[in-house]
């Protein structure tokens, strides 16, 4: 069997799996992980894990698939087209790889199976009120007290913190050295006394962000990942994985397919917007940019982990991916026009259908894309420094 035949066979297998396991009422039940429910996300992760497809990128020894880039993309594309629920990235693509790469055998046995089958949710304790893109300036302290660390401080913009069972947290364990050299990586049970979670309501009307406060929280020393004060190394490893995923190729592919179908719909429009040469040209341009982004992402994912090439491609992936996603949402909003405005609950459905209000919700949520995961302005500074250094 040729490689192309193998991939087409795999695509058919994925479609059959989705047809069999994803009932109609679960399809397109949520638009992205941010406005999904914990129950829906956990259910789908469990279904995938039962099939052996819970972690496409993990090593097989930890229950992963070790799929090629091509197979990962096929699975993501077909899942998006089928309207499958999103996964929560904080366990699967962020802390999971950190644990199986740098964690103890006890930590691996304790956490990886739960991440894989969707029975334990995680959130990320990185950003603070005074430490966002300048993450190394974080102030949350962890002071050693026998077999525990005592943690005090605050984290913010904590996505899914109200869901999370555990939080992986960057804490300062040494204040006498260079900022990056005094940070440690802790795994903290969110049920530990002294932790308070407060919701942050965003402009899109959703609750997916939170503030997390730590007051004399006692964390066992066995929950330290790797070596004390080496947390910046593990944080960079994790951020590389996070920002590569932020390119959002599969998500944007689904958004563009949905947008083109809507713009071409005679049932929603007397004169479909696709007939407007300006709209058609903007759609074509966005699809061309997506193809280039996918090729760039493929280069980054095929490069050896933590290699100079992989690290060099992270910043432009984040920049181009988030800017493309925002431009897609702007075109959807332009097509929707007045139909994007909210209407009273007793109003009849607009002839444009629910796509108009969906366009507004996606547009508002998308404003944050150029901020989270490292602001685009900071990514440009990183690129400029790398170019100046000849990297």
CA 336 vs. chain centroid, Å, equals 27
User: What is the total count of domains within the chain?
Assistant: 3
Q: How far is CA 249 from CA 90, 244, 253, in A?
A: 18, 10, 6
Q: Identify whether 117 is part of a domain.
A: no
CATH of the domain at 179: 2.40.110.10
Choosing from 128, 242, 355, 357, which is the catalytic residue? Answer: 242
CATH of the domain at 313: 1.20.140.10
Percent of the chain scoring above 90 in pLDDT:
58
> Which pLDDT does position 144 carry in this prediction?
97
Tell me: do 142 and 169 sit in the same domain: yes
Tell me: do 262 and 335 sit in the same domain: yes
Whether 21 sits among the annotated catalytic residues: the reply is no
d(CA 183, CA 166): 19
Residue-wise pLDDT for 209-252, tens only, equals 999 999 999 999 999 999 999 999 999 888 766 655 678 888 88
Tell me: do 193 and 287 sit in the same domain: no
pLDDT above 70 (res 163): yes
Tell me: do 133 and 160 sit in the same domain: yes
Residue 218's DSSP bridge partners are 150
Q: How far is CA 74 from CA 14, 81, 150, in A?
A: 8, 11, 45
Highest mean pLDDT, choosing among 31-35, 74-78, 275-279: 275-279
Instruction: Give residues with Cβ within 8 angstroms of 224, minimum separation 6.
Output: 149, 184, 185, 186, 187
Range of the domain at 148: 122-228
Residue-wise pLDDT for 188-221, tens only, equals 999 999 999 999 988 777 788 999 999 999 999 9
Contact 211, 173 (CB under 8 A): no
Q: Identify whether 80 is part of a domain.
A: yes
Question: Where among 65, 87, 109 does a domain terminate?
Answer: 87
d(CA 56, CA 79): 13
Q: How many CA atoms lie within 13 A of 124 on its CB side?
A: 25
Tell me: do 310 and 364 sit in the same domain: yes
> Which pLDDT does position 265 carry in this prediction?
86
d(CA 180, CA 232): 6
Residue-wise pLDDT for 350-365, tens only, equals 544 567 777 888 888 8
């Amino acid at each position: 069997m040729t490689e192309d035949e193998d991939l087409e066979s795999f695509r058919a297998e994925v479609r059959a799996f989705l047809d069999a396991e994803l009932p109609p009422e679960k399809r397109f039940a949520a638009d992205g992980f941010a406005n999904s429910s914990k129950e829906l996300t956990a259910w789908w992760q469990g279904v995938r894990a039962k099939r052996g497809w819970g972690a496409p990128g993990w090593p097989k020894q930890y229950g992963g698939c070790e799929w090629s880039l091509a197979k990962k993309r096929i699975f993501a594309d077909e899942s998006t087209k089928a309207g499958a629920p999103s996964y929560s990235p904080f366990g699967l693509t962020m802390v999971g790889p950190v644990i199986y790469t740098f964690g103890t055998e006890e930590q691996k046995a304790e956490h990886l199976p739960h991440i894989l089958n969707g029975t334990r949710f995680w959130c990320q304790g990185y950003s603070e009120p005074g430490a966002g893109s300048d993450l190394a300036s974080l102030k949350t302290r962890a002071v050693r007290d026998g077999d525990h660390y005592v943690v005090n401080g605050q984290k913010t913009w904590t996505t899914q913190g109200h869901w999370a069972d555990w939080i992986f947290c960057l804490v300062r364990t040494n204040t006498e050295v260079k900022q990056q050299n005094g940070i440690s990586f802790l795994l903290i049970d969110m049920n530990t006394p002294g932790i308070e979670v407060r919701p942050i309501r965003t402009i899109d009307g959703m609750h997916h962000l939170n503030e997390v406060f730590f007051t004399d929280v006692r964390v066992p020393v066995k929950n330290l990942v790797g070596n004390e004060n080496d947390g910046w190394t593990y944080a960079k490893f994790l951020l590389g994985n996070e920002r590569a995923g932020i390119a959002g190729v599969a998500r944007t592919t689904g958004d563009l397919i949905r947008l083109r179908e809507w713009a071409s719909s005679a049932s929603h429009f007397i004169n479909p917007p696709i007939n407007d040469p300006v709209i058609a040209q903007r759609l074509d341009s966005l699809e061309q940019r997506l193809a280039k982004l996918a090729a760039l992402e493929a280069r980054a994912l095929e490069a050896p982990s933590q290699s100079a090439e992989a690290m060099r491609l992270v910043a432009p992936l984040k920049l181009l991916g988030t800017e493309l996603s925002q431009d897609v949402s702007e075109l959807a909003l332009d097509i929707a026009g007045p139909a994007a405005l909210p209407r009273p609950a007793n109003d009849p459905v607009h002839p444009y259908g629910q796509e108009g209000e969906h366009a507004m919700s996606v547009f508002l949520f998308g404003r944050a894309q150029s901020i989270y995961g490292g602001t685009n302005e900071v990514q440009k500074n990183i690129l400029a420094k790398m170019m100046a250094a000849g990297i």
